Amino acid sequence: RCQCLQTVQGIHLKSIQSLKVLSPGPHCAQTEVIATLKSGQEACLNPAAPMVKKFLQKRLSKGSSN
């Protein structure tokens, strides 16, 4: 079963503490992006949104340069 039934639009990138990407699998047929906010809340982001794609690319490039 998918964890993200609805996605949130318009979250400030600075308010995101961490990001978790769940690949499609037997539990859910779609990619899910779950952001943990600095306030402790979790929010599902639309993986197709341009802002989310750009944020993921930045995170991946940061991780590979370490």
Is 42:33 a contact under the CB 8 Å cutoff? no
Please say if the pLDDT value at position 65 is more than 60. Answer: no
For residue 4 the two structure tokens come to: 């993200």
Q: Mean pLDDT score of the chain, rounded to an integer? A: 87
Give this prediction's pTM.
0.79
pLDDT tens for each residue of 9-36: 878 888 989 989 999 999 899 999 999 9
What is the pLDDT, as a whole number, of residue 54?
85
Q: What is the rounded distance in angstroms from the CA atom of residue 14 to the CA atom of residue 22?
A: 21
> Could you give the domains of the chain?
13-65 (2.40.50.40)
Is the pLDDT reported for residue 57 higher than 60? yes
For tokens 């402790």, the residue is 40
